[in-house]
Protein backbone atom coordinates (compact mmCIF):
# COMPACT_ATOMS: atom_id res chain seq x y z
CA UNK A 1 0.00 0.00 0.00
CA UNK A 2 1.32 3.41 -0.98
CA UNK A 3 1.68 6.04 1.72
CA UNK A 4 0.91 9.48 0.30
CA UNK A 5 1.60 12.54 2.47
CA UNK A 6 -0.65 15.54 1.98
CA UNK A 7 0.15 19.19 1.57
CA UNK A 8 -2.93 21.43 1.67
CA UNK A 9 -2.41 25.00 0.49
CA UNK A 10 -4.02 28.25 1.59
CA UNK A 11 -2.27 31.53 0.71
CA UNK A 12 0.72 29.49 -0.57
CA UNK A 13 1.26 28.00 2.91
CA UNK A 14 1.03 24.42 4.15
CA UNK A 15 -2.07 24.13 6.36
CA UNK A 16 -4.59 21.61 7.69
CA UNK A 17 -8.29 21.93 8.36
CA UNK A 18 -10.63 19.98 10.62
CA UNK A 19 -13.66 18.40 8.92
CA UNK A 20 -13.04 20.66 5.94
CA UNK A 21 -13.90 23.77 7.96
CA UNK A 22 -11.83 26.71 6.69
CA UNK A 23 -12.25 28.49 10.02
CA UNK A 24 -10.15 25.75 11.67
CA UNK A 25 -7.09 26.46 9.50
CA UNK A 26 -3.76 25.75 11.16
CA UNK A 27 -0.50 26.59 9.41
CA UNK A 28 2.27 23.99 9.73
CA UNK A 29 4.86 25.27 7.30
CA UNK A 30 4.99 28.56 5.41
CA UNK A 31 7.20 26.93 2.77
CA UNK A 32 5.44 24.05 0.95
CA UNK A 33 8.60 23.20 -1.03
CA UNK A 34 10.53 22.75 2.19
CA UNK A 35 7.81 20.40 3.46
CA UNK A 36 7.81 18.45 0.20
CA UNK A 37 11.57 18.02 0.38
CA UNK A 38 11.25 16.70 3.94
CA UNK A 39 8.83 14.05 2.68
CA UNK A 40 11.09 13.15 -0.24
CA UNK A 41 14.18 12.90 1.98
CA UNK A 42 12.35 10.40 4.19
CA UNK A 43 11.85 8.04 1.24
CA UNK A 44 8.28 8.91 0.35
CA UNK A 45 7.70 8.99 -3.40
CA UNK A 46 4.20 10.47 -3.82
CA UNK A 47 2.49 13.70 -2.78
CA UNK A 48 -1.17 14.71 -2.55
CA UNK A 49 -1.15 18.48 -3.19
CA UNK A 50 -4.44 20.29 -2.59
CA UNK A 51 -5.18 23.88 -3.51
CA UNK A 52 -7.75 24.67 -0.80
CA UNK A 53 -8.11 28.21 -2.08
CA UNK A 54 -8.93 26.78 -5.47
CA UNK A 55 -11.36 24.22 -4.09
CA UNK A 56 -13.30 26.92 -2.27
CA UNK A 57 -13.31 29.44 -5.11
CA UNK A 58 -13.88 26.91 -7.89
CA UNK A 59 -10.77 28.12 -9.71
CA UNK A 60 -7.14 27.05 -9.22
CA UNK A 61 -5.25 29.69 -7.22
CA UNK A 62 -1.89 28.14 -6.37
CA UNK A 63 -0.32 27.12 -9.67
CA UNK A 64 3.05 28.44 -8.54
CA UNK A 65 3.19 26.04 -5.58
CA UNK A 66 2.61 23.08 -7.91
CA UNK A 67 5.24 24.30 -10.36
CA UNK A 68 7.80 24.94 -7.62
CA UNK A 69 7.44 21.54 -5.96
CA UNK A 70 7.35 19.66 -9.27
CA UNK A 71 10.45 21.50 -10.51
CA UNK A 72 12.49 20.92 -7.37
CA UNK A 73 11.57 17.37 -6.33
CA UNK A 74 11.03 14.01 -7.99
CA UNK A 75 7.77 13.40 -6.14
CA UNK A 76 4.84 11.88 -8.03
CA UNK A 77 2.35 14.70 -7.48
CA UNK A 78 -1.39 14.37 -7.65
CA UNK A 79 -2.90 17.85 -7.72
CA UNK A 80 -6.43 18.97 -6.92
CA UNK A 81 -8.52 21.96 -6.02
CA UNK A 82 -10.56 24.03 -8.45
CA UNK A 83 -9.72 22.25 -11.72
CA UNK A 84 -12.78 22.93 -13.86
CA UNK A 85 -11.68 23.03 -17.51
CA UNK A 86 -9.71 20.89 -19.91
CA UNK A 87 -7.19 23.73 -20.22
CA UNK A 88 -6.65 23.79 -16.45
CA UNK A 89 -6.21 20.02 -16.41
CA UNK A 90 -3.60 20.30 -19.16
CA UNK A 91 -1.88 23.15 -17.33
CA UNK A 92 -1.57 21.01 -14.19
CA UNK A 93 0.14 18.29 -16.22
CA UNK A 94 2.35 20.83 -18.01
CA UNK A 95 3.49 22.22 -14.63
CA UNK A 96 4.50 18.78 -13.44
CA UNK A 97 1.52 17.00 -11.92
CA UNK A 98 1.53 13.28 -12.73
CA UNK A 99 -2.15 12.94 -11.84
CA UNK A 100 -5.03 15.24 -10.98
CA UNK A 101 -7.90 14.57 -8.60
CA UNK A 102 -11.26 15.89 -9.75
CA UNK A 103 -14.39 15.92 -7.61
CA UNK A 104 -16.80 18.83 -8.11
CA UNK A 105 -16.60 18.80 -11.91
CA UNK A 106 -17.11 15.03 -11.98
CA UNK A 107 -20.39 15.58 -10.11
CA UNK A 108 -21.63 18.64 -11.97
CA UNK A 109 -20.52 17.78 -15.50
CA UNK A 110 -20.23 14.05 -15.99
CA UNK A 111 -19.82 14.30 -19.76
CA UNK A 112 -16.88 16.68 -19.45
CA UNK A 113 -15.03 14.49 -16.98
CA UNK A 114 -15.79 11.35 -18.99
CA UNK A 115 -14.24 13.06 -22.01
CA UNK A 116 -11.11 13.72 -19.92
CA UNK A 117 -10.86 10.01 -19.08
CA UNK A 118 -10.69 9.23 -22.77
CA UNK A 119 -8.40 12.16 -23.64
CA UNK A 120 -5.85 12.04 -20.83
CA UNK A 121 -6.15 8.35 -19.89
CA UNK A 122 -7.46 6.71 -16.75
CA UNK A 123 -3.94 6.53 -15.29
CA UNK A 124 -3.79 10.36 -15.18
CA UNK A 125 -7.10 10.97 -13.45
CA UNK A 126 -8.24 10.30 -9.89
CA UNK A 127 -11.95 10.51 -9.16
CA UNK A 128 -12.46 12.55 -6.01
CA UNK A 129 -15.30 11.02 -4.00
CA UNK A 130 -15.61 13.08 -0.82
CA UNK A 131 -18.47 11.90 1.36
CA UNK A 132 -20.62 13.04 4.26
CA UNK A 133 -22.90 10.20 5.41
CA UNK A 134 -22.25 8.46 2.07
CA UNK A 135 -23.41 11.55 0.14
CA UNK A 136 -20.94 13.23 -2.21
CA UNK A 137 -19.71 16.64 -1.00
CA UNK A 138 -18.30 19.21 -3.43
CA UNK A 139 -16.84 22.74 -3.67
CA UNK A 140 -14.20 22.16 -1.01
CA UNK A 141 -16.80 20.22 1.02
CA UNK A 142 -18.93 23.35 1.36
CA UNK A 143 -21.83 21.88 -0.63
CA UNK A 144 -23.77 18.59 -0.61
CA UNK A 145 -24.48 17.18 -4.06
CA UNK A 146 -27.42 14.95 -2.98
CA UNK A 147 -25.77 12.07 -4.83
CA UNK A 148 -24.80 8.91 -3.01
CA UNK A 149 -21.34 7.39 -3.29
CA UNK A 150 -22.49 4.14 -4.87
CA UNK A 151 -24.46 5.63 -7.79
CA UNK A 152 -21.56 8.03 -8.33
CA UNK A 153 -19.02 5.21 -8.54
CA UNK A 154 -21.35 3.01 -10.59
CA UNK A 155 -21.34 5.59 -13.37
CA UNK A 156 -17.60 6.17 -13.49
CA UNK A 157 -16.69 2.53 -13.00
CA UNK A 158 -18.56 1.86 -16.24
CA UNK A 159 -16.62 4.69 -17.89
CA UNK A 160 -13.29 3.08 -17.02
CA UNK A 161 -12.06 5.07 -14.03
CA UNK A 162 -9.30 3.23 -12.13
CA UNK A 163 -8.30 5.53 -9.26
CA UNK A 164 -10.76 6.71 -6.63
CA UNK A 165 -9.79 8.96 -3.73
CA UNK A 166 -12.44 8.73 -1.03
CA UNK A 167 -12.38 11.14 1.90
CA UNK A 168 -14.86 10.79 4.76
CA UNK A 169 -15.27 14.47 5.60
CA UNK A 170 -16.50 13.67 9.12
CA UNK A 171 -13.15 12.00 9.82
CA UNK A 172 -10.82 14.45 8.13
CA UNK A 173 -8.41 16.12 10.51
CA UNK A 174 -10.00 14.47 13.54
CA UNK A 175 -7.21 11.93 14.21
CA UNK A 176 -9.87 9.43 15.31
CA UNK A 177 -9.24 6.64 12.83
CA UNK A 178 -10.05 6.05 9.17
CA UNK A 179 -13.42 4.96 7.78
CA UNK A 180 -12.38 1.34 7.45
CA UNK A 181 -15.96 0.02 7.26
CA UNK A 182 -16.84 2.41 4.44
CA UNK A 183 -13.72 1.51 2.46
CA UNK A 184 -14.32 -2.18 3.01
CA UNK A 185 -17.85 -1.78 1.66
CA UNK A 186 -16.58 0.08 -1.40
CA UNK A 187 -13.90 -2.52 -2.12
CA UNK A 188 -16.41 -5.34 -1.84
CA UNK A 189 -18.64 -3.56 -4.34
CA UNK A 190 -15.81 -2.45 -6.66
CA UNK A 191 -12.88 -4.85 -6.09
CA UNK A 192 -10.99 -3.65 -9.18
CA UNK A 193 -10.67 0.03 -8.28
CA UNK A 194 -7.47 1.49 -6.86
CA UNK A 195 -8.94 2.98 -3.72
CA UNK A 196 -7.04 5.78 -2.01
CA UNK A 197 -8.20 6.23 1.57
CA UNK A 198 -8.16 9.72 3.05
CA UNK A 199 -9.22 11.21 6.34
CA UNK A 200 -8.80 10.28 9.97
CA UNK A 201 -5.54 8.34 9.90
CA UNK A 202 -4.11 8.76 13.38
CA UNK A 203 -1.60 5.97 13.98
CA UNK A 204 0.25 3.11 12.31
CA UNK A 205 -2.52 0.67 13.24
CA UNK A 206 -4.93 2.62 11.04
CA UNK A 207 -2.57 2.09 8.12
CA UNK A 208 -2.23 -1.61 8.92
CA UNK A 209 -6.03 -1.96 8.81
CA UNK A 210 -6.34 -0.06 5.53
CA UNK A 211 -3.67 -2.23 3.97
CA UNK A 212 -5.38 -5.40 5.24
CA UNK A 213 -8.69 -4.59 3.52
CA UNK A 214 -6.96 -3.93 0.21
CA UNK A 215 -6.64 -0.16 -0.14
CA UNK A 216 -4.27 0.83 -2.93
CA UNK A 217 -2.99 3.84 -0.98
CA UNK A 218 -3.58 5.92 2.11
CA UNK A 219 -3.18 9.66 2.47
CA UNK A 220 -1.63 10.86 5.72
CA UNK A 221 -1.79 14.50 6.71
CA UNK A 222 -2.41 15.84 10.17
CA UNK A 223 -1.04 12.69 11.86
CA UNK A 224 2.39 13.55 10.44
CA UNK A 225 2.19 17.25 11.21
CA UNK A 226 1.00 16.64 14.77
CA UNK A 227 3.67 14.01 15.43
CA UNK A 228 1.23 11.11 15.82
CA UNK A 229 3.10 9.20 13.11
CA UNK A 230 6.79 9.83 12.44
CA UNK A 231 8.28 9.72 8.97
CA UNK A 232 10.70 7.12 10.31
CA UNK A 233 7.81 4.87 11.32
CA UNK A 234 6.33 5.10 7.82
CA UNK A 235 9.41 3.43 6.37
CA UNK A 236 8.00 -0.01 7.14
CA UNK A 237 5.41 0.65 4.43
CA UNK A 238 7.95 1.75 1.81
The conformation of residue 70, written as its DSSP 8-state character, comes to: H
Distance CA 8, CA 77 (A): 13
Q: Compute, in degrees rounded to 10, the torsion defined by CA atoms 100, 199, 28, 54.
A: 40
Q: CB–CB of 223/203 below 8 Å?
A: yes
Annotated active-site residue 21? The verdict is no
Per annotation, catalytic residue among 53, 78, 130, 168: 130
Q: Give catalytic status of residue 8 as yes or no.
A: yes
Find the catalytic residue in 8, 51, 78, 206.
8
Query: Which residue from 181, 172, 232, 182 is spatially nearest to 204, judged by alpha carbons?
Result: 232
Q: For residues 47 and 222, what is the distance between their CA atoms, to the nearest angstrom? A: 14
In this structure, what DSSP letter does residue 233 have?
G
3-state secondary structure of 202: coil
Known catalytic residues?
8, 130
Amino acid sequence: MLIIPAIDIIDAKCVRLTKGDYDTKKTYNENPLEQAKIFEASGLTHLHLVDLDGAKKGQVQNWKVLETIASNTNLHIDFSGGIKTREQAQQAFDLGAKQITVGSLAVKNQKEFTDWIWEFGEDKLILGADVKDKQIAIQGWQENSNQDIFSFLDYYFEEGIDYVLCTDVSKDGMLQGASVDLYKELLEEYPEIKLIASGGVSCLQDLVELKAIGCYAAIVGKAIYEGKISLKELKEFL
